[in-house]
Amino acid sequence: MPELHGGNLDAAARRLGCRPEQLLDASASLVPFRTPLLLWRALNRAALRPYPDRGYLALRRVIAARHGLDPAWVLPGNGAAELFTWAARDAAAAGPSLLPQPGFADYRRALRCWDGAEQPWPLPLRWAEAGPAALPPLPAPACGGDAPRALWITNPHNPTGQLWSGASLEPLLQRFALVICDEAFLPLVPGGEAQSLVPLLADHPNLVVIRSLTKLFAIAGLRLGYALGDPHRLQRWAAWRDPWPVNSLAAAAGEALLGNPGLHGRWCARVQAWVAAEGAWWQQQLQAMPNLVPLPSAANYLLVRGERGGEPCSLEPLRQQLEQRHRILLRDCRSFEGLGDSWLRIGYQSRAGNRRIIRALRRELAG
């Protein structure tokens, strides 16, 4: 069975009989930079706190300041995944959810916690530009079924890397009782913040925007995300949760990383420059390789299609060869509804790491 998420280094190391640090993990899409020093200082101070603040007021304040909101519009979470679970509870109560395909499998996982109904929204699997682009038209309502009442959007989209324009997303807020917009990767995209739906929150209580710090700062092990939305909705979610869903270390990390606007701005600029440079480099490298078709991406990952003689071809043998012979992990795309074994997703690394992947690809494709 394909993994629902990338980044499962320990399991891969056990399977391959090596140490996790021997693996180059391009199955997850994390920034390859060393985290700022002030993060480690904050973690040391927080390690011995007796309990986190139940209301996470300090963390909510720095997040709110980052987005120009009142803290009541912020709910920190144990990663974005936890917040998807509560969003799905509201979505299931509203009616069927419309889910883009291919799309992130965690939305479906969350909906099934509450027996939520879902309808697929097949997206085109060929596109000419990374964006910002207009969202494709919504599908026609299914005959005899209830019309979707909730919509799940990822911007930029996962796994395709397409950046949707905010102008094309805004009309959807008039059509659905609930719109959940996952912007986990948006801060990494050059110019991406201009397409955010956060400025529309005040006028649309049916909108929830979910963000993650784990991708931007490569702190996935700390599990820290947050939801932005109508305070009444977020208060309801908070009442459903276990106590202290965000631990003291994660809360301290968020306070440190978002509480320094200058550092945050410089970090985002550095990350976005890396995404632009490595994305262009990857396109150039892969376009010269046989049977691999890289699709345009605005994000820090690239979706690649296997194609031979104009027909799809499986990339699963290639993925396994890179794993077994080169200790390189690429994202198995079979867990994305609508994709299959002819697709791979590659998360950008440092230039040295990216060159290692390219060398391995060339060796295996030439064999």
* Lowest pLDDT segment from 160-164, 214-218, 252-256: 214-218
pTM for this prediction:
0.94
Closest CA to 289 of 214, 357, 197, 236: 357
pLDDT tens digit string along 118-157? 999 999 999 989 999 999 999 887 666 678 999 999 999 9
pLDDT confidence band for 362 (50 / 70 / 90): very high
Q: What is the pLDDT of residue 1?
A: 55
Whether residue 251 has pLDDT greater than 70: yes
Query: CA 324 to CA 42: how far, in whole Å?
Result: 39
CATH number attached to the domain at 37-259: 3.40.640.10
Q: What is the mean pLDDT of residues 317-327?
A: 95
Give the separation between CA 146 and CA 119, rounded to whole angstroms. 10
Q: What is the mean pLDDT of residues 341-354?
A: 96
The whole-angstrom separation of Cα 126 and Cα 295 is 8
Question: Which carries the bigger pLDDT value, residue 338 or residue 184?
Answer: 184
Give the per-residue pLDDT at 337. 87
Cα separation, 322 vs 360, in Å, equals 7
What is the share, in percent, of the chain residues with pLDDT greater than 90? 80
| Every domain of the chain and the residues it spans | 9-30+264-366, 37-259
Average pLDDT over residues 1-17: 73
> Token pair for residue 297?
């991406």
At 6, the pLDDT band (50, 70, 90 cuts) reads low
- Helices and strands of the chain, counted as H and E runs: 12, 13
Q: How far is CA 58 from the centre of its chain?
A: 25
CA distance 307 to 313: 5
Residue 76: how many CB atoms within 10 A of its CB? 23
What is the pLDDT, as a whole number, of residue 221?
87
- The per-residue pLDDT for 145 is 67
Question: Hey, which of 209-218, 225-234, 337-346 has the most confident mean pLDDT?
Answer: 225-234
CA angle 39, 186, 25 (to 5 degrees): 65
Q: pLDDT higher for 16 or 345?
A: 345
Please tell me the predicted confidence (pLDDT) of residue 7. 63
Asked if pLDDT for residue 248 goes beyond 70, the answer is yes
Which residue bears the tokens 């097949």? 122
Rounded to whole angstroms, the Cα distance separating 245 from 133 reads 36
Mean pLDDT for the stretch of residues 48-52: 82
Q: Which CATH architecture has domain 9-30+264-366?
A: Alpha-Beta Complex (3.90)
d(CA 247, CA 236): 20
Mean per-residue pLDDT for 270-299?
96
Band of pLDDT at residue 47, cut at 50, 70 and 90: confident
Q: Scan for tokens 């936890």, then name that residue.
A: 82
207 DSSP 8-state letter: E
